[in-house]
A and B are shown apart, each in its own frame.
Chain A
Amino acid sequence: MTDLLRLQDIKVYFRSRAGLFKTVEVKAVDGVSLSLGRGETLALVGESGCGKTTLARTSLRLIRPTSGRIIFDGADITHLPESELKWFRRKAQAIFQDPYSSIDPFMTVKQILEEPLILHKIGSREERMEMIARALEDVKLTPVEEFMGKYPHMLSGGQRQRVVIARALILRPEYIAADEPVSMIDASSRAEILYLMKELQERYGVGFLYITHDIATARHFSDRIAVMYLGKIVEMAEPRELIENPLHPYTQALIEAVPEPDPNNRFRERKVIPGEPPSPINPPPGCKFHPRCPYVMDRCRTEEPQLQEIKKGHLVACHLY
């Protein structure tokens, strides 16, 4: 069975003006390859600035990669003009981070949910109303009639994000890229929304690219986790394997950083990554992590490690292996 989505050696470089005459190249994504199977959830974990949002947008062809290929359902959509992408847009949807700005404040919930249906000419008026009602029920925004007429500013952050999810699912897409879907939602509602997404994903068999900086939620929600640092994937494995046996020093530090509720461990010293997250404008040579790596070797300063399968299903890019 072909993969749903395959990203081959995607590079996304931006040019930006810094000061009077200089232009600067930002290597947001610097050679990433991954594949997503149908109905699978791949979590992409990393700090701010590591390029995961850019990668998500590229996977949806909202940005064109500087090089590399995007293959969706066997079709190369890297360079297709927008006019030929309509079929893709129906099968691939997005859930963005900020529920306050990702829906049009001048539209009612009904209009927001109806828009994708109208654009893709789905169903008659009555059929669409039914689909909208069902979508609202899916995300547990009931009673449905009450919510249909509301405007976004009348809803809470959690409710808005449910609308966003409903909108993403109403076309029954095969692929959804969710960029930090719960980071702007109150902590109390987060779990609920995540479980909702998981339930709907299983019900409708959607492939998810789940982007987050929170490795804890990634563990619960995904089939595979990929760790990204400064535009490159440094480790990828199944959640359990990754958490129990993190190979890359960066992954190890990320896991260490997750607070543990066990009071007995409260005096354990944790390893903290020294230094600050670097900027993608001036990446360090060789292994991009080497300035902060506790195990740095000479080789790390000059040679970039490649992503290799060390154990079955467990890839890592590090000279330690």
Chain B
Amino acid sequence: MSVGRDALREFWASKVSKMGVALLVLLVVVSVYVVLTYPLDFGLRYWNNPAYWADNPKAVPPEWWNLFTDKKLPPHVIKDFHEPSDVRDQRGRRILEYVYSFDFQYDEFPSFLSISLNNVTFSSRRPPRVEIFLDRPDNISVRLLRFTVTGPRPGEEAPYFRYVEAPNRVRITGDKNVFSALSAMLKKYYGLSIRPSEVGEIGAEKVAFGEPSGDGFKVLRGRYVLRAVVTGYDEDVDVGMLRMVVGGRVYGFSGTDTLGRDLAVGLLFGFPIALLIGFLTSTVTTIIGAITGVISGYMGGKVDTGIQRLSDIILNIPLLPILIFFTFVLGTEIPRLWVIIAILIAFSWPSLTIVVRPMVLQIRESQFVEAAVAIGAPRLWIMFRHIFPQVAPFVFAQLIFFTPSAILAEAALSFLGLGDPSMPTWGQILETGFRSGGVYIGYWWWVLPPGLLIVFAAITFVLIALGLEPVVNPRLRRMK
């Protein structure tokens, strides 16, 4: 349609539109990516499942933060072993040794140390024994921990399988026995008398990775070797996977929250949700508003008065309090997301109706409308074949304009705690950050990006709407 082509050209001409469309493409691409790669029940299965994030450091900034600070923070290291580094057979026992050696040159201690065992198999009645050693750069070697795999239960027959569905995870730096081992180390090598409970208070990681200095501990830099030795009493002993985690103080692209959740993952998930909310709400609102506007303007009479009264009443009701009320009251039965969308639609459509109506009133008097009546066109035909196309460009621009409002409204609701807790929308992430006091503690990486993304999404649509404006409102075209 050449009318459309002219319009497109006009739209494209301004820089604003180009930027807006570019941002929109970016949003859509990311959303498609997320939809394709994430499972649908991501929210419940992963996001709200603390076990999934157990191996992450809690509340740490993103990795690139290291570029901006003088203190170098250790990165988060996860080392998975599917096979032992070394296997020895010694006096009827099979020894699996897992060795991880790393160079620690950072200004801060690791946040924690943990080990997980997955899929352990053995067939002797005596279960395997696991020992964890830490070899420090100052040539001190500490046996941090020693524990035994759960033995065979009465009635159970070999081979025995352990930790198949869920790994056995040991947080080394939180274990009392480790405190004792470290306390002993301090006494033996540094002559310090620090009780195990005190080691726990200072922080086991500080002791394990540091050396005493003044009142506290200083980071001991150098080469460390973390060794896990699994001693089994039969030939079938096998560990499906052994994982060592040296908790970092930075993580990933966007850092983590207090549950250790990778914020980048959560934020990505927010993309398609934001787009869904934005588009769904604004599309339905626009359709309803446009249709009622056309009907109201063309049919006149009681229908018109009725629609106008209804619009008037709805417009006089403040949106946010009502949203809050409904979400609160209905949110327990119906998934919150749909309640929010429904209420947004129900209370937004009249704002379009009252603008479309006077336009329709004017178009109604056109001669081609009269001609259509003369041809014998029924009212519905005239309304949608002749009148609607005239208001369509304006309505479309409004659609674009509504979208950011919807996104912002949902974000605001989530922020107040009325969002859908099973799904990590940007508003939700921000709300969790705010509620846990993140603002006051300075967890900027948690609090700023979601807001930034919301602003970014909103601006995308605002830019496009700005670009559309001269197309729709010819008076502004004159000035260019």
Contacts and interface: CB of A to CB of B under 8 A. Distances in A.
Interface of A: 60, 62, 82, 85-86, 89-90, 92-94, 96, 98, 101-106, 115-116, 119-120, 151, 153-154, 164, 167, 171
A104 B368 contact: yes
Interface residues of B, number: 20
23 contacts: A60-B374, A62-B370, A82-B378, A89-B374, A90-B376, A96-B371, A102-B367, A102-B368, A103-B368, A103-B371, A104-B368, A104-B389, A105-B368, A106-B1, A106-B389, A115-B375, A115-B377, A115-B385, A116-B376, A119-B375, A119-B376, A119-B378, A119-B381
Contact of A151 (B2, B371, B376, B381): B2
Nearest to A88: B376
A245 B375 CA distance: 39
B366 interface: yes
Contacts of A102: 367-368, 370-371
Interface string B356-370: 000000000011101
Contacts of B366: 101
B473 interface: no
A89 B375 contact: yes
Contacts of B389: 104, 106
B368 A86 contact: no
Interface in B372-405: 372-378, 381, 385-386, 389-390
Contact of B373 (A62, A98, A104): A62
B334 interface: no
A116 B370 CA distance: 13
Contact of A96 (B367, B376, B385): B367
Contacts of B1: 106, 151
B3 interface: yes
Contacts of B367: 96, 98, 101-102
A116 B2 contact: no
B376 A120 contact: yes
A116 B309 CA distance: 36
Contacts of A153: 3
B151 to A, nearest CB: 82
B374 A62 contact: yes
A164 B372 CA distance: 11
Given A119-B376, A153-B3, A171-B375, 13 more contacts: A62-B374, A82-B378, A93-B374, A93-B375, A96-B370, A101-B366, A101-B367, A102-B367, A102-B368, A103-B371, A115-B372, A115-B375, A119-B375
Nearest to B379: A82
A60 B373 CA distance: 10
Nearest to A86: B376
Contacts of A103: 368, 371
B368 to A, nearest CB: 5
A85 B373 CA distance: 11
